[in-house]
Amino acid sequence: MPKNSRPDNQPASPKRRRFLQWIAGATLLGTGATAAYGERVEANDLQVVHQDIAVAGWPAGTPPLRVGQLSDLHCDRAAALARARRAAEMLRAQRPDVVFLTGDYISEKPLRWAAPAAQALAPLTAVPGGVFCILGNHDWTNFRWRPGDAGIVARALSEVGFTVLRNDAAPLPQAPGVWLIGLDDRFAGKQDVARALRDVLPGACKILLVHEPDYADEAPPGFALQLSGHSHGGQIRLPGLPPLHVPKYSTHYPEGLQQGPHHPIYTTRGIGMIGPQMRLFCPPEVTVLNLHAA
Ligand SMILES: [Fe+2]
């Protein structure tokens, strides 16, 4: 049989070629449409998520506390700032008693973005119990995720009236007997739990804020609850499946309420994005937690 007469070497028939072209076109169109949906629709589809949590050791007689949580704003462009402003508005409308912010206000370039990010969130100072915040790994980066100076972000947050907890603790006046313990970033290796606990009264009900949820696996016992972000819930997911990818230190507790070795962890999907500016099957989350006695 001559070499060029083998069926494999024969050019596709016009009908088959048209079919293959149609498949390729549809795939390209589908991919483009999915990316456009993820970028223009779902990335801006902020959803309020309510979570009721019975907290072990909640002091007797202390009323329930309505906590607003935002995380991972990743303000690195005008669209992200607009999203952060809208998240703050949506959270205020939920009338929380107090607000906790769990890190990654920027993605990089703190001199460019820290102050605008803090300004976008500043309306939250109107919340009666105020705003307590911790830093995330991106707040410790300078340019292209190189280690930087988180002091720039911390100062910007303080200047709009937020309380920044960096290995520090504060009692919550609206919830007598409940203390908030805020760690500096685990990814950057800046956490110091012993230092953070130094002023906490014995017997206090302790709520831990730390950006990376998997810190729960190394945390000492004694915390009643941990609130974290960092994972973005995976950011890009397939329906009904666990996240395809989450960053280091968020693989064990990527989303929602889960139980760790010593205490429960709530991980919010957060608001912003890193890498491709899209979310799929993982919309941004404005979190409202109702904390009360177990
Ligand atoms: Fe992060």
pLDDT at residue number 136: 98
pLDDT of 76-94, one tens digit each? Answer: 999 999 999 999 999 999 9
Torsion of CA 118, 132, 134, 206, to 10 degrees: -170
Distance 96 CA to ligand 1 centre (A): 24
Distance 46 CA to ligand 1 centre (A): 19
Q: What angle do CA 119, 142, 130 make, to 5 degrees?
A: 30
What span, in angstroms and rounded, lies between the C-alpha atoms of 180 and 249? Answer: 21
Residues with CB under 5 A from ligand 1 (ion): 104, 136-137, 230
CATH of domain 45-293: 3.60.21
Distance 250 CA to ligand 1 centre (A): 9
Distance 120 CA to ligand 1 centre (A): 19
Distance 176 CA to ligand 1 centre (A): 31
Distance 74 CA to ligand 1 centre (A): 9
pLDDT of 258-290, one tens digit each? Answer: 999 999 999 999 999 999 999 999 999 999 999
Query: pLDDT-based confidence at 123, cuts 50/70/90?
Result: very high
Determine what percent of the chain is predicted with pLDDT higher than 70.
90
Looking at the predicted structure, is the pLDDT value of residue 6 above 50? Answer: no
Distance 249 CA to ligand 1 centre (A): 9
pLDDT of 156-211, one tens digit each? Answer: 999 999 999 999 999 999 999 999 999 999 999 999 999 999 999 989 999 999 99
pLDDT of 27-38, one tens digit each? Answer: 655 677 888 888
What span, in angstroms and rounded, lies between the C-alpha atoms of 83 and 89? Answer: 10
Distance 93 CA to ligand 1 centre (A): 26
Q: Is the pTM of this model over 0.75?
A: yes
Mean pLDDT of the chain: 92
Query: pLDDT-based confidence at 242, cuts 50/70/90?
Result: confident
Query: pLDDT-based confidence at 4, cuts 50/70/90?
Result: very low
Distance 179 CA to ligand 1 centre (A): 24
DSSP helix/strand/coil, 67: strand
Q: Which one is predicted more confidently, 180 or 24?
A: 180
Taken as a whole, the chain contains a residue count of 294
Q: Hey, where are the domains in the chain?
A: 45-293
Distance 160 CA to ligand 1 centre (A): 22
- Give which of 147, 253, 157, 162 is closest to 210, Cα–Cα: 253
Distance 209 CA to ligand 1 centre (A): 13
pLDDT of 39-83, one tens digit each? Answer: 888 889 999 999 999 999 999 999 999 999 999 999 999 999 999
pLDDT at residue number 19: 59
Distance 73 CA to ligand 1 centre (A): 10
Q: Where are the alpha helices (DSSP H) in 108-262?
A: 110-121, 151-159, 193-196
Distance 104 CA to ligand 1 centre (A): 6
